[in-house]
Amino acid sequence: KAGVTQTPRYLIKTRGQQVTLSCSPISGHRSVSWYQQTPGQGLQFLFEYFSETQRNKGNFPGRFSGRQFSNSRSEMNVSTLELGDSALYLCASSLGGAQDEKLFFGSGTQLSVL
């Protein structure tokens, strides 16, 4: 069974640009959640999508948005990039909700904002 796949692996952008990250969950998993990882801040929850509906949202500005498609693949978009958005963005999939059971993480997208 293929694991969680995130693309691209690395991204370099400049301030003010926007970026779209992609996450393909494990086949059959309906939940995709997204996390921002920065040194010293751990894994900060961005949002969760379940069956194409946003289920929960973390404390991030509206510049961070996402969506989920009918095949459970998810995308995350960040508009008007700021230097502080530089981070590793991880997605995770699970059969049920992210709060209920084991999460399977992707390898992440390393975003650098210059």
Partner 1 sequence: GENVEQHPSTLSVQEGDSAVIKCTYSDSASNYFPWYKQELGKRPQLIIDIRSNVGEKKDQRIAVTLNKTAKHFSLHITETQPEDSAVYFCAASIMGRDDKIIFGKGTRLHILP
Binding site for partner 1 (CB under 8 A): 4, 33, 35, 40-45, 48, 55-58, 90, 97-103, 105-108
How many CB atoms neighbour CB 56 within 10 A? 14
Nearest distance from residue 76's CB to partner 1, in Å? 15
Contact (CB, 8 A) for 66 and 76: yes
CB of residue 20 to partner 1, shortest distance in Å: 20
Closest CB to partner 1 among residues 81, 91? 91
Give the pair of three-digit tokens for residue 13.
């952008």
For the bound state, the minimum distance from the C-beta of residue 77 to partner 1, rounded and expressed in Å, comes to: 19
Provide the edge-to-edge strand list for the sheet that holds 5-7.
Answer: 5-7, 19-24, 74-78, 64-68
Our CB check for partner 1 shows the closer of 78 and 98 to be: 98
Under DSSP, the state recorded for 84 is: G
Q: How far is residue 17 from each of residues 45, 89, 90, 113, measured CA to CA in Å?
A: 22, 17, 20, 9
C-beta of 17 vs 65, nearer to partner 1: 65
Q: How far is the CB of 59 from partner 1 (least distance, A)?
A: 9
Quick one: 80 or 112, whose CB is closer to partner 1? 112
